[in-house]
Amino acid sequence: MKEFETLLTEQRGAVMLITLNRPQALNALNSTVMRELSEALRTCDADDGVGSIVLAGSEKAFAAGADIKEMQPVTFVDAYLGDFLGGWEAIAATRKPIVAAVSGYALGGGCELAMICDFIIASETAKFGQPEITLGIIPGMGGSQRLTRAVGKAKAMDMVLTGRMMDAAEAERAGLVARIVPPERLLDEALEAAGKIASYSRAAVMMAKEAVGRSDELTLAEGLRYERRLFHSLFATEDQKEGMAAFVEKRKAQFRNR
C-alpha cells in the first residue's frame, strides 16, 4: 500500500490495519482523510491478499468528527454543488468486511464512520455521540439514519437532539457496539476477529456482508429471498465442498477462494 498523509497502513497476514493519523486534530475527518481512506479501501477491495480490514484511531480518539475548521467557511452553494460529505458513500461501498476498533471519542462523523464499518469493537474508554446540534448543524454522514437503525428511535433522537455522549457500556446495551474490551486488548481483539473473517471463504464472507447489509434496505420478504439466492449460489463454490468435507472428516477447512 502507498504512503498516506492522514493514514497509517500495515498488513498483518490477510488483514489490512488502517489507522487514522491526525493526532493534532483528534483524527478529525477532513477531505484528505476522506479521499485517502476511500483510496486505501478501494485498494484493499482490489487486493486478493486482503480478506478483511480493521479501522482504528488513537487511544484518545477514534475520530472527533468532521473537521470543524475545514467546514466553518463552507457556504450552502459550496456544500450543495460539491455534494459535501457525499464521498463517504464510496467508503460505505467497500465490499470486504471492516471492523472498527474504537477507543476514546467517536463523535459526529467519527461515530458515523464507525457505523459505516461492519461492526464495532469498543474499548471500555469509548464515547459515542452526535454533537452536531451544538454546532448549528445535524449529522451529515449517516448519523440520523444508521444510528436510528442501530439503537432505535428513542436513543437516536436523544443523542441527535441533545448532543450527549454514550459510554461504551450504554452503546453495547443499545446495540451500537458488538463487543467491549479493556483498552489494552482493543487492537488484538479487532485483529483476531478480522483474522478469523479473513480465514473463511472470501465469497461466503463477502456475501454474508452483503446479505446483512441489505437488511437495512429491503422488506423482510425481499431480504429473505435475496439471502436464499445468495445462499444457493455458494453451492457453486469449491469452498462449500471443502468446508463441509472438512466438517465430516473432522479436520480444519482449507479455503482456497474458488
State the Cα–Cα distance between residues 112 and 119, nearest whole angstrom.
12
Q: Is 166 in the site for ligand CAA (CB under 6 A)?
A: no
| Angle at which helices 238-248 and 202-214 cross, to 10° | 100
Task: Identify which of residues 27 and 237 has a Cβ nearer to ligand CAA in the complex.
Answer: 27
H-helix or E-strand spanning residue 226:
helix 220-233
Task: Identify which of residues 6 and 201 has a Cβ nearer to ligand CAA in the complex.
Answer: 6
DSSP conformation class of 29? B
Binders of ligand CAA among 80-109, rule CB under 6 A?
A: 85, 105, 107-109
Q: Are 53 and 94 in contact (CB under 8 A)?
A: yes
Task: Identify which of residues 27 and 52 has a Cβ nearer to ligand CAA in the complex.
Answer: 27
The total number of residues written for the chain in this structure: 258
Task: Identify which of residues 167 and 192 has a Cβ nearer to ligand CAA in the complex.
Answer: 167
Going by C-alpha positions, the residue among 86, 85, 146 that lies closest to residue 114 is: 146
Q: Is 195 a catalytic residue?
A: no
From 51, 65, 108, 109, active-site residue: 109
Q: Is 109 a catalytic residue?
A: yes
Q: Is 140 in the site for ligand CAA (CB under 6 A)?
A: yes
Among 135, 206, 212, 234, binds ligand CAA (CB under 6 A): 135
Cβ contacts of residue 21 below 8 Å, gap of 6+?
A: 4, 6, 7, 8, 27
DSSP conformation class of 217? T
Q: Is 57 in the site for ligand CAA (CB under 6 A)?
A: no
Q: Is 65 in the site for ligand CAA (CB under 6 A)?
A: yes
Going by C-alpha positions, the residue among 32, 28, 123, 33 that lies closest to residue 66 is: 28
Q: Is 66 in the site for ligand CAA (CB under 6 A)?
A: yes
Tell the smallest beta-carbon distance from residue 125 to ligand CAA (Å).
13
Task: Identify which of residues 97 and 143 has a Cβ nearer to ligand CAA in the complex.
Answer: 143
Single-letter code of the amino acid located at 91: I
H-helix or E-strand spanning residue 196:
helix 186-199
Q: Is 66 a catalytic residue?
A: yes
Q: Which residues are catalytic?
A: 66, 109, 112, 132
Q: Which residues bind ligand CAA (CB under 6 A)?
A: 25-26, 28, 64-69, 85, 105, 107-109, 112, 131-132, 135, 139-141, 143
